Amino acid sequence: MTSTEQQPSPTSTTIMPASPSRTATLLANLSSVTSRVGTAALNANRPTTKPIRLIAVSKLKPAADILALHNPPTNHLHFGENYLQELLEKSKLLPPSIRWHFIGGLQSNKCVTLARDVRGLWAVESRSEEVHGVAHEDRLRVFVQVNTSGEENKAGVDPLTGAVPLARFIREKCPRLKLQG
């Protein structure tokens, strides 16, 4: 190694790539979902000028799986995680070009950690009304998570009674948040 080459930091972690068969499975799954979403958009007469953002949720899957989808040929950008600790760890390991979505329940005492420590945080998708306490220089983009199934074990607000009031609350009372949808 020459003096101009940098050695890896002793604290850096190398991500072992996903196996070729695992990568092929992940790419096939992403392609299938993308195709189904595209078909649904066409059937719904959705304007092609309004692209649909597909968020791949990793939920306890290894960082190698995310990297396999983020790397060429797909270069997928948007990934979601519903456990704060997993998101913190993965955002430190993986490229800063990834746009992270936190989709789990968020306690108010964790808001600052999320905003401060997650590189590439794109949005928080949580039903917590306490999110307005985020101390972040820029406005944090957030989504309202809606429980369309009505199942009590699923997260999200009721689409008929909770979505509009929460969206209004965010717009009127949370100047540091930018409601995305």
Query: Going from the N-terminus, what domains does the chain have, and what CATH number goes with each?
Result: 20-26+51-179 (3.20.20.10)
The phi, psi pair for 109, rounded to 5°, reads -75, -5
List the beta bridge partners of residue 100.
79, 121
**How many CA atoms are closer than 13 Å to the CA of 52, on its beta-carbon side?**
17
Contact 68, 94 (CB under 8 A): no
Mean pLDDT score across all residues of the chain: 79
The pLDDT of residue 21 is above 90: yes
Q: For residue 146, which of 134, 161, 156 has the smallest C-alpha distance?
A: 156
pTM score, two decimals?
A: 0.67
- How would residue 106 be classed by pLDDT, with cut points 50, 70 and 90? confident
CA of 110: how far to CAs of 82, 125, 166, in Å? 13, 14, 20
